[in-house]
Amino acid sequence: MVRLSKIYTKVGDTGQTMLGDGTFVPKAHRRVEAYGTVDEANAALGVAICALPDAVAAAHPILKSELELIQHDLFDCGADLCTPIVKDEAPGAKLRVQANQHKRIEALIDQYNEPLPALDSFILPGGSAWAAQLHVARTAVRSAERCVAALRTVEPDATNPESLIYLNRLSDLLFVLARVANLASGAQEVLWQPGEGRSQGDG
């Protein structure tokens, strides 16, 4: 269990930070960027959860608890990324994202996507305010995914591939939930019209 008795440590004053294994690295290290961006994604998701509209909550009564469980997953992901995998690490010795977590997300994607109308175009982020917030969270998760992918290119053996898979599936789920949000609120999805801006010339 984590116990925080002092909030500031001054360790970061020199641009260094301590990983979960006790080693110090620059704050610009790819591993720090990876778990830091996961934290940003979690914060964006937290904003969306706080703004969950009554209409959506009524239509999907356990959605809030499902999203809150995802926030726990994202903390797991950050803890995983914060502690590099070492050779011959014993199973269960460290908190690692596991396959059953991304499989749970896949089940949610299938559940929420099934009643949605098929898409024949990309959609613009928006429609309803809550859908737009979910798209902000989705793109934050995509940023985290890219950071983890970059980390795995330089430290593949020390980085859990399940963290990357989880983030990939989560961004897909948030896309689906943005569509769910629009459907529940009666908002119209705006389809991307390729080259639309070119038709609005100088006049």
pLDDT of res. 67: 98
Block residue for tokens 């239509």: 59
Residue 10 has pLDDT above 70, yes or no: yes
- For 72-121, write each residue's pLDDT tens digit: 999 999 999 999 999 999 989 999 999 999 999 999 999 999 999 998 88
With 0-12 / 13-18 / 19 or more C-beta atoms within 10 angstroms meaning exposed / middle / buried, residue 113 is: middle
Residue 24 has pLDDT above 80, yes or no: yes
Query: pTM value?
Result: 0.91
pLDDT of res. 196: 80
Spell out the domains of the chain, with CATH numbers in brackets. 17-191 (1.20.1200.10)
Q: What's the CA angle centered on 68, arms 64 and 70, to 5 degrees?
A: 120
Q: Looking at mean pLDDT, say which of 57-61, 151-155, 182-186, 191-195 comes out highest.
A: 151-155
- For 174-189, write each residue's pLDDT tens digit: 999 999 999 988 888 8
pLDDT of res. 1: 55
Rounded Cα–Cα distance for residues 71 and 66 (Å) = 9
What phi, psi does 16 have (nearest 5°)? -110, 160
Rounded Cα–Cα distance for residues 57 and 46 (Å) = 15
pLDDT of res. 2: 57
What does the longest C-alpha to C-alpha distance in the chain come to?
A: 68
Residue 203 has pLDDT above 70, yes or no: no
Half-sphere exposure of 163 (CA within 13 A, CB side): 33
> How far out from the chain centre does Cα 176 lie?
13
Helices (runs of H) and strands (runs of E) counted in the chain: 6, 2
Rounded Cα–Cα distance for residues 158 and 85 (Å) = 4
pLDDT of res. 115: 93
- For 124-170, write each residue's pLDDT tens digit: 999 999 999 999 999 999 999 999 999 999 999 999 999 999 999 99
pLDDT of res. 3: 64
